[in-house]
Every structure is written in structure tokens, then in C-alpha cells.
Amino acid sequence: MSNHYDALGVSRDATGEEIKKAYRKLARKYHPDVAEGEDAQDRFKNVSHAYEVLSDPAKRRIYDTTGNENGTDNGSGSGFGGQGFAFQDIFETFFGGSGQSGPASRTRRGQDALINIRIDLRDAVFGVNKKIEVETAVVCPTCDGGCCQPGTHPTTCDICHGSGQVQRPVRSILGQVMTVAPCGSCQGIGTMILDPCNECNGEGRVRSRRTLTIKVPAGVGTGTRIQLGGQGEAGPAGGPAGDLYVEIKVNNDPSFLRDGDDLHATLSVPMTAAALGTELTLETFDGEQPISVKSGLQSGEVILLRGLGVTHLRGYGRGDLKVHINVETPVRIDAAQQDLLKQLAALRGEQVSEGKLVTSGGMFSKLRDKFGSL
């Protein structure tokens, strides 16, 4: 009497799932279609019989109690009718349960495509219509995606007769059963192309360069992607095209710096204009804008021009333009200018002697006088 547990390589307290797993592993190893020799066939029979008994709780209980290798009280066995040895186990073991149903389609969706384009900051502020050149797969103009030479058609496969599948007999513990697999002659499609198109070599698509006009919305930034549905790679055999993604890169601007939806600019103001106040103009993306410089304006101050920034991408309105003031101090001055500046310093109570500023009043002198009188 053989030991069913040893045949499956499991312990006597193995769970039903462990027994099932061990059986599937050994059945694949010793199946007649895989292994050769009488020894393999015998092992396959022993493994199958052991699983029939141990997978049925009632038969396993009888086997453990009486030692009857058939797991029955009368020793006659019950064939393969026990609930533990289901037909599903056989098909999952040998066929994987994933066979295709019917012929496969030659037509498939094309892949998505990605290209990069560069735009100026002005175009990002207002948006722009831009022409781009794209090289992708397009439907073959000769066969119109049919893959065949004009005037010909796909021929039904004489192996699978158009089903895309073939059957073959396999010996198993149930006797001879039929397996189903994709037809190797037509690759499971059911038809064959005997006269492929000369231009696309039977693929139904060719590479081509084409020009598209895309609308770049206002407010885009570097990294923004625009999706164009159906403008990507055409699929094989006239299949639907994938999508085209256009990734934006915004060029740096010599005059403006972008921060979110705000723009920043620097305006240099002469020292005299900053002291006296004046009206200047700044060239912006919206044209010349007047800048009012109040008297006594200091370097680093910011003048805000509302609504002259970048358009909000997902909303209404625009950001602001922030103008940073830089007061220019003259580098070279002539004698007459020096005299004027000295007169100004004297009028302001500022005396410059041998390159040093000598103060005759102001907060520090008042503090000195105050503490000196204590």
C-alpha cells in the first residue's frame, strides 16, 4: 500500500490548500506530455490517485483511520466523482484557465506620443496658436490600414479555419481530453495576409511627418502638458491612434522674471529723479506703462502694477507686475557737479571733509548732547 502523503510530499497534518498546491506542482512535472518514460507515467498516476483521496475530507478521514488507499469503507473506491477532485482542478493545472475565446483582432490602438516645444514668456502670458511638426505613424495611404496589397484580401487560415484556435488531444487522468491554444499559423487572428502591402509591409501604417496647429492656452508654464486626443501613433491594421502630448518649456525673458502668475521687473532711476520725483515709462507686454516716481524714492522699493502679470491658467484675471526700484548713484562726476553736490550737502547740514562725512546735527548729535549734559 502506497503512502499518499509521501506521494505528494506533504505531512499528515497538511491543509487542503497545501495538498492542492503540491498536487499541481507534481502533476505538471510528471504529465505524459511533459515527462517521458514509464516511471513518469506511474508517478503521475500515483500522484493523481493520492490527490483524489486526500482532497476529499471524507475519503481522507477513512484513509487515515483504516489505511484503505481508496478512502472508502468497502475498498471499491468511487472513481473521480468525489468533491475534492474536480474537473476544474484538471483544467487549471494543464490549461491555466486563460485560453482566448475566438479569433484575436489584428487591429490595435496606437501608442501615445510626446513632444517638447518652446515658447516665449509673452506667449505664456497671453496664449498662442503654434504650428508644430510631428513625425508619427499614420494610416498607410496605399492599403488604408487593410495591410493587403490593393485588390487583395486576408485569407481564412486553413489550419484553424478562421477560429484563431487549434485543438489537440492530451492524455490525462480523465483519459484523452482536448486542449485549446492560439493557432500558431495565423497567430490566433484567424486570417492570413498572403499579399502584404508593399508600402507598409503588411502593417497598415507608415511613418510620416505632418504639421499641426495647436492652441497653447494663456497661463501655461514649463512642464505643462497639452493632450491632443487621437493625434498620436496610428494603430496597426488601421487601429485608432493614440494621443499626442505636447510638453511646454517657457524661455527666459531678458526683462521679466516669472513667479507663479506674477511678473517682476527692475527699473533703474537716476538719483536726482528719485530725490525730486518724476514720471517714467516702462515697456511691458501690454505696451508702455507710466510709472510715477514719488519724491524721495529709495532703492528696493516696489511699485505694483495690478493685472499686468500672467493670465491665470484655470480661472479668470491675471497676476500683477511688480517693479523693483534701483536708484542709480553717479560713478563719474565733473568739477561742476561736485560743487553742486557739496552745496547740496551743506544745505542739508552734511559736510564732507577728506572723504569722511562729518555731521553737524541730527539724531546722533542730539543724543550726544543729551548724555553729555547729565
Q: In 3-state terms, what secondary structure has residue 282?
A: strand
> Minimal CA–CA distance to 282: which of 261, 264, 294?
264
Q: Where are the beta strands (DSSP E) in 110-159?
A: 113-119, 128-139, 155-156
CB 314: neighbour CB atoms within 10 A? 6
CB 264 within 8 A of CB 256: yes
Q: Which three cell numbers mark 31?
A: 504529465
Report whether 148 belongs to an annotated binding site: no
Q: In 3-state terms, what secondary structure has residue 241?
A: coil
Q: In 3-state terms, what secondary structure has residue 127?
A: coil
Distance of CA 327 to the CA centre of its chain: 49
Beta 113-119 vs 244-250: how paired, if at all?
parallel
CB 157 within 8 A of CB 103: no
Distance of CA 321 to the CA centre of its chain: 35
- Which amino acid, 285? F
Distance CA 88, CA 267 (A): 81
Report whether 147 belongs to an annotated binding site: no
For the chain, the maximum distance between any two Cα atoms, rounded to a whole number of angstroms, is 132
Backbone dihedral region for residue 75 (phi beyond 0: left; psi -120 to 50: alpha; all else: beta) = left
Q: Where are the alpha helices (DSSP H) in 115-222?
A: 121-126
Contacts of 143 by beta carbon, 8 Å cutoff, 6+ apart: 149, 150, 197, 199, 200, 204
- Which amino acid, 255? S
Query: Which residue is it, cell 511691458?
Result: 284
Start-to-end CA distance of the chain, whole Å, equals 121
Q: Specify binding-site residues.
A: 140, 143, 157, 160, 183, 186, 197, 200
Q: Specify binding-site residues for Zn(2+).
A: 140, 143, 157, 160, 183, 186, 197, 200
